Chains A and B, each alone.
Chain A
């Protein structure tokens, strides 16, 4: 069903970027996002773009594959470009009937599209090079300090883990129910949109019922294995910051500061 979406799918290869601590990568992504919003100029974006290309190369990811991740967003990118192109006031450089293209609009449109594209690329790099488990571990650790203000860091991470664990299981189940309902004459493929949405009810109801039953059984199984929340819990895989991690963050921070100040 969701085949062909490459945006953010983990690519398990060996590379220095893959081996970095997930916390390093999360912090780096945040830094990249911040600098993308600070910079307002082509030279800055050019440098950031080159930096991202460098990271892609270091992560040994096929460039085509990474760029393909932008495809589901092509419509949004196009609309952003067009809106800015035609809706900005300023010096006229071209006219298309009632639509006026301005110099300022052209500039802003290209910049905004670049910003959005680079934003998506930068964040997808995180999930492309980090397995979901490590990502969850990293998030939990980074959110831990916010526990004091009531943020349920461990619970959030546990929810993510369970969701990841059950997505394939529920997918399989969806297919099974679909086949069973088709065998009983259900039609999921034809008709108007409203009709098709209505036809999904006999699929969704059993799916939800079974998901709740699963949740109930899983909760009991977790309790039977002494689960009592994050308090006093240890981990099989502990996170370890290495020299490479500190170096990566240092380099990136330096780069970000330079770009933000100069441009």
Chain B
């Protein structure tokens, strides 16, 4: 798997209005391979959004380096190349749609890149088909549901033909149905088009769907590993005031009580079948 994103010793500090210096990120290093699905979890103020904004040069490192597809984000000549390669989807679905119809909005990115009209048309139709929003092409975006708006935002990013999508808490303002829609869309992109995904969230069951989970705390990566590895560290996570998926917690408690159940469980069916086996045996 080739390296797509590389962050080395990234520190980001800024001055508050009162003149204090705040370190939002402290010596963060991380690599994301092409086609990987990485989830970043952590509390408000843990630095996860700041990290995300470094991945497409919306913020630049105070010290350290960020490479996107081999391009240094701090080199001004690379700026637009970087932003084309790493698409961003934000939390508030309303505040990232620019145009008065869905298709015009999806076209916004390629228009900025100077893509010829016929090619834009093709990309818009394809992107809308991928997120299953083709039938809404000529509708105004304000009538759509939150989940639909986020899917349009994803289509807007896809139309730029990025190598990676960074989603900064894309489901935080959605209802459960909308969350499902968006997560499923991104999972499909990852599986079928091998799109690299960085998914920032505070919903642990969403993070459990990723290939790899990073837990951030006070500007550092506190825990890193596969979802099974990370969520089995129930006590550490609790100390960081983070939830674990309910199943994992139950498995953990059963394991602690002396039952032969692995604490590395993520889905209910798994636990049910193990318990059924134990009870039958």
Contact = CB atoms under 8 A, between A and B. Distances in A.
Interface of A: 132-133, 161-162, 164-165, 168-169, 172, 213-214, 217-218, 220-228, 232-238
A132 B100 contact: yes
A165 B98 CA distance: 7
Contact of A217 (B84, B90, B142): B90
Interface string B55-70: 0101000000000000
Contact of B92 (A217, A222, A227, A234): A217
Given A224-B83, A226-B160, A236-B111, A164 B100 contact: yes
Contacts of A132: 100
B58 A226 contact: no
B136 to A, nearest CB: 15
Interface in B160-210: 160
Nearest to B157: A225
A205 to B, nearest CB: 19
12 contacts: A133-B101, A164-B100, A172-B142, A221-B98, A225-B87, A226-B84, A226-B109, A226-B160, A232-B114, A234-B111, A236-B103, A236-B111
Which 6 pairs show the lowest CB-CB distances between chains A and B?
A221-B96, A236-B107, A217-B95, A224-B88, A226-B112, A225-B109
B141 interface: yes
A226 B111 CA distance: 9
Interface of B: 56, 58, 80, 83-84, 87-88, 90, 92, 94-101, 103-104, 107-117, 120-121, 124, 140-142, 156-157, 160
B141 A165 contact: yes
A227 to B, nearest CB: 5
B95 A226 contact: no
From A133, A169, A218, A234, name the one whose CB has the most chain B CB atoms within 10 angstroms. A234
Contacts of B84: 226
From B58, B98, B110, B121, name the one whose CB has the most chain A CB atoms within 10 angstroms. B98
Contacts, number: 98
Contacts of B110: 234, 236
Given A161-B100, A233-B112, 11 more contacts: A133-B101, A162-B98, A165-B142, A221-B90, A221-B96, A224-B56, A224-B88, A226-B80, A234-B116, A234-B117, A234-B120
Contacts of B113: 226
Given A225-B156, A227-B108, A228-B112, A165 B58 contact: no
B58 A224 contact: yes
Contacts of B160: 225-226
A218 to B, nearest CB: 5
Given A224-B83, A225-B160, A133 B104 contact: yes
> B-side binding surface: helix, strand, loop or mixed?
helix
Contacts of B80: 226, 228
Contacts of B156: 225
Given A133-B104, A164-B100, A226-B109, A233 B95 contact: no
Contacts of B87: 224-225
B126 to A, nearest CB: 13
A164 B104 CA distance: 13
From A165, A225, A228, A235, name the one whose CB has the most chain B CB atoms within 10 angstroms. A225
Contact of B142 (A169, A228, A237, A238): A169
A218 B117 CA distance: 24
Nearest to A226: B112
Contact of A236 (B83, B120, B140): B120
A221 B121 contact: no
A221 B88 contact: yes
A256 B149 CA distance: 47
A226 B98 CA distance: 13
Nearest to B105: A165
Given A217-B90, A226-B84, A233 B111 contact: yes
A226 to B, nearest CB: 4
B117 A238 contact: yes
Contacts of A225: 83, 87-88, 98, 108-109, 112, 156-157, 160
Contacts of B103: 236
Contacts of A220: 58, 90
Contacts of B111: 233-236
Nearest to A216: B95
A161 B121 CA distance: 20
A221 B109 contact: no
Contacts of B88: 221, 224-225
Contacts of B121: 236
From A172, A217, A221, A237, name the one whose CB has the most chain B CB atoms within 10 angstroms. A221
Contact of A234 (B96, B98, B114, B141): B114
Nearest to A171: B142
A133 to B, nearest CB: 6
B27 to A, nearest CB: 25
